[in-house]
């Protein structure tokens, strides 16, 4: 139960901090028509997602392993780092934690007069892609980046890796992933994060949610297969 609570809390923090930065702080009117909207922009959002993982990995990583992501949990199971019996309970805890965060974020955001959810930091392809990218492009980038993310996690948490630095490397990797893919899919690489906000988006995100389960799970498993294949003798 402590492990599942840690996973729910960590995923809550990721969705609330990461998606919250996109919903509340990415841009906002500054009152000067000549300057338009100001805010942290997509670079700030990318950093916010990285910081959520970095901070919670240090806070609860020693309890649950700090997955906060069904694709990471699957990758670690494929890589032999966790028992398969942990996968479904972890997934449930992650999705629940993410949805609770999305509910609270919605309640906060809706307190502003005239606010509408719009995309609500959801992920999508085609018309829902920030840059208008097609389904195949979005599928491919989510697979590749999730695979890379899982390889970073497996590598930095390896018994021969320098101890104490894994959360920093993982958080920076997630920041990099967002810098690359926000224009393409608004960055998922995490089915729990995508599920949580899709329920509140007004752009049909629920109808496209399947891709943001399928692609990250394929990527997570693929990353684990590649990593364990390269380091099988060292494990």
pTM of the model: 0.93
Buried b (16+ CB within 10 A) or exposed e, 169-201: bbbbbbbbbbbebbebbbbbbbbbbbbbbbebb
Per the prediction, the chain carries an average pLDDT of 93
The pLDDT-based confidence of 13 (bands split at 50, 70, 90) is very high
Residue-level length of the chain: 235
Average pLDDT over residues 9-28: 93
- Domains annotated on the chain, with CATH: 2-231 (1.20.1080.10)
Taking CB atoms within 8 Å and a gap of at least 24, the contacts of 209-212 are 209/123, 211/123, 211/125, 211/135, 211/138, 211/139, 211/142, 212/123, 212/142, 212/185, 212/188
The pLDDT-based confidence of 36 (bands split at 50, 70, 90) is low
Distances (CA, A) of 229 to 89, 159, 174: 27, 16, 23
pLDDT digits (tens, 9 = 90+) for 124-181: 999 999 999 999 999 999 999 999 999 999 999 988 888 889 999 999 999 999 999 9
29: phi then psi, degrees, rounded to nearest 5: -65, 135
- pLDDT value for 160: 82
């Amino acid at each position: 139960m402590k492990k599942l609570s840690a996973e729910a809390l960590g995923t809550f923090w990721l969705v609330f901090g990461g998606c919250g930065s996109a919903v509340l702080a990415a841009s906002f009117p500054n009152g000067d028509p000549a300057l338009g909207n100001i805010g942290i922009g997509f670079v700030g959002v990318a950093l916010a997602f990285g910081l959520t993982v970095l901070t919670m990995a240090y806070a609860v990583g020693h309890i649950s392993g700090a997955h906060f992501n069904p694709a990471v949990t699957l990758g670690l199971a494929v890589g032999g780092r966790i028992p398969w019996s942990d996968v479904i309970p972890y997934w449930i805890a992650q999705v629940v934690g993410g949805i609770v965060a999305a509910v609270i974020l919605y309640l906060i955001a809706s307190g502003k007069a005239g606010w509408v959810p719009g995309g609500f930091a959801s992920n999508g392809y085609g018309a829902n892609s920030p840059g208008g990218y097609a389904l195949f492009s979005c599928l491919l980038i989510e697979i590749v980046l999730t695979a890379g993310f899982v390889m970073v996690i497996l590598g930095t948490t390896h018994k021969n890796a320098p101890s104490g630095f894994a959360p920093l490397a993982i958080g920076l990797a997630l920041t990099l992933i967002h810098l690359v893919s926000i224009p393409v899919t608004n960055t998922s690489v995490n089915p729990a994060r995508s599920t949580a906000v899709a329920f509140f988006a007004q752009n049909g995100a629920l109808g496209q949610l399947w891709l943001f389960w399928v692609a990250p799970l394929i990527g997570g498993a693929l990353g684990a297969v590649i990593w364990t294949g390269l380091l099988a003798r060292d494990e």
